[in-house]
Amino acid sequence: MLKTRILTAACVAPPVVAIILWGGALRHLLCLLIPLIGGFELYRAATGFTLPRCLQLTVLSFLLPLGYLTYEFSGFFAGLLLACILLFCFFVITIEADVHERDFQRVLPQTVLSFMYIGVFGSVPVMVSYHLDGFYLLWVLLIVIACDTAAYFGGSLIGGPKFAPRISPKKTQSGAVCGLLGGALIAVLCGRYFDFDYSVFQLLTYGILASVLSIFGDLVESTLKRIFEVKDIGTILPGHGGLLDRVDGLLFALPVLFLM
């Protein structure tokens, strides 16, 4: 499993980094893949809808980041309103058209939760891509990767008490601490290397904050998996699961960068 994860990362990382730094339409397209592919993965895992219905819901969620990229904030909020209206219209039609009875109390919250999660959070990478230099996006990506890697190996080597046993039994407190240290260290080193106009204290503060948010983003994803009763949200990345399984921490860390 570890070899597969490393091989997948080695194949995916170089083109992703190159596209982020190249910028322009390619970077926008890369960021748009998150709500597009991630949304489809989430709807398939969450609702149990048929393939055509999952594709329709994915398109509705995709209106948000696409609208922002096209019309900036005016398009984003207009797209949010339109997508919400279309979502609930489609949902009612879907339930009424089913030949078997559906569990309303299960499907409705899961559909709305999936829509908000991927539609809103999935729009943030597009915002960052639109407004900020590619080095900022790469910087946060490196922080999240460092946090995740340090937490994985630190928790495996040190062990100890569990961090969130009800949500993710494999995560340990030692792993969380190692993740924070790893993310903070990379934030400072890469921030200075990229020559960002921030002090070491500011870089360190953001590195810790981004790492904390990355850890909780991972826990939110683990919570969704338990709710939906799936091992991984998707299967597009061998050894890693789906796209959302890899960018969950990034989706939580990026909004703070955008505000910063």
State the CB neighbour count (10 A cutoff) for residue 15: 12
Contact (Cβ atoms closer than 8 angstroms) between residue 147 and residue 182 = yes
Digit-by-digit pLDDT tens for the chain (260 residues) are 667 877 877 888 888 889 888 888 889 888 888 888 888 888 888 766 777 777 877 877 787 787 777 777 666 666 666 666 766 666 666 655 554 445 666 666 777 777 777 777 778 888 888 888 889 999 999 999 999 999 988 888 888 888 888 888 888 889 999 999 999 999 999 999 999 988 999 999 999 999 999 998 888 888 888 877 777 787 787 777 778 888 888 888 888 887 77
Listing DSSP states for 57-91 in one string gives HHHHHHHHHHHHHHHHHHHHHHHHHHHHHHHHHHH
pLDDT at 99: 46
User: What's the count of helices (H) and strands (E) in the chain, helices before strands?
Assistant: 9, 2
Of 15, 38, 11, 239, whose CA–CA distance to 125 is shortest? 38
Cα distance from N-terminal residue to C-terminal residue, the chain:
37
Q: Rounded to whole angstroms, how far apart are CA atoms 184 and 188?
A: 6
Radius of gyration of the chain (CA): 19
Cα dist from 165 to 128, 172, 247, whole Å: 34, 8, 22
pLDDT at 81: 66
Contact (Cβ atoms closer than 8 angstroms) between residue 172 and residue 135 = no
pLDDT at 150: 92
Sequence-distant (≥ 6) Cβ neighbours of residue 236 within 8 angstroms: 37, 41, 242, 243
Of 220, 243, 221, 235, whose CA–CA distance to 37 is shortest? 243
Domain definitions of the chain by residue range: 2-259
